[in-house]
Amino acid sequence: MANTNLASAKSAKNDEFYTQYTDIQTEINAYLDYDPHVFRGKTVLLPCDDPEWSNFTKFFAQNFELLGLKKLISTSYAPESKKFKGGYQLTLFESESPQFDAQKTQTHGKIFVLEHDVSGDQRIDINDLQWQYLEGDGDFRSSEIRKLRDEADIIVTNPPFSLFREFVAWIADKKFIIIGHQNAITYKEIFPLIKANKIWLGKGFKGGATHFHSYYTDYATANDHIEGMIRVSGVVWFTNLEHGRRHDPLRLMTMKDVLKHSKHKDLREKKAFVRYDNYDAIEVPYTDAIPSDYEGVMGVPISFLEKYCPEQFEILGQMANTNIDEYNFGYPFINKERKYARILIRKK
């Protein structure tokens, strides 16, 4: 099964992936199910968007009144700053607007604002979006966009994968819902925040993969591949907003039953959990194989965080790379063989 090569996309800074409307809707509904008023009276900023093409702006504009928003702000990068392959495609929405400027549209970002009824139809929706060119290129690190960040209550976006660390630092003390790759869990800038319960994973994408619209060429051959889109595996939502699934404890078997009845043949054949060479913990290679009655430290896959319930388990650290510190204890080894990155947990 082939998937889009995120490493290549990052090195080429060609990592503009446009999220599907249904994926946004499914994720946002998880927060609304937990708290129907989570967005009420709030200013939402979409700072790494492309409003004419992105579904983030469409979703929040169409649901402005339903969510009870105070204000929606969406900004885009200048096409020149993103170096689109094959050139940037103008929309009729932009080219037929009175303020259209052929030069500015290449060098300046744009800002879209929605906060009141402009069309006169007695409702606030996508038809009331107003836009203008930004003074700069729309980079979220500019003072212009920082001011918008400071105004916002909640930030929602799919930031460039190549700038994920920097973006998380940029949103700092704001509430947010953003997309990233699950490997970001192990970043030295991200994992301490997860351990401290300041960031967690959202509801997530079905099967840990989804399709994006993109300028990037895709060669995916998965059964669920959608023609004309790219399939990316290992993508997750990062957030600091509560949702119901986060507090659902895992239903687990005892260690004896796991080793006897697990669907994973390798565990049944081993008849025991092995220990790491370099850390006093047992290796649990599958989240559904975590034993309910083990009191010691366990190393689990990073995908465990998709099912993590903070009332059920404590996160102690990670075994992810060679940069050993208070949060990371180096790659896990079993019989001198290096294993995949692991999160160290213990039952509460």
Return the beta strands (E) in 36-129 as ranges.
Answer: 43-49, 71-76, 110-114
Same domain, 174 and 299: no
Does one domain contain both 139 and 200?
yes
Structure confidence at residue 50 (pLDDT): 76
Instruction: Encode pLDDT of 11-41 as tens digits.
Output: 334 445 678 899 999 999 999 999 999 999 9
**Statement to judge: residues 53 and 182 lie in one domain:** yes
The last residue of a domain, from among 231, 247, 263: 247
Domain extent at residue 35:
6-247
Domain boundary among 215, 247, 279: 247
pLDDT tens sequence across 269-312: 988 999 999 999 999 999 999 999 999 999 999 999 999 999 99
| Nearest 10 degrees: Cα torsion 301, 307, 310, 315 | 0
Whether residue 130 lies inside any domain: the answer is yes
Does 259 lie in the same domain as 243?
no
In angstroms, the CA 60 to CA 218 distance is 28
pLDDT for res 254: 97
Q: Note whether 169 and 281 are same-domain residues.
A: no
Structural domain ending residue among the three candidates 223, 247, 271: 247
- 1 within domain boundaries: no
Give the integer Cα–Cα distance in Å for 50 and 88: 11
H-state helical runs in the chain: 6-11, 21-34, 55-62, 64-67, 79-82, 92-95, 104-107, 143-151, 164-171, 191-195, 255-261, 265-270
In a domain, 168, yes or no: yes
Residues of the chain with pLDDT under 70: 1-17, 80-96, 208-229
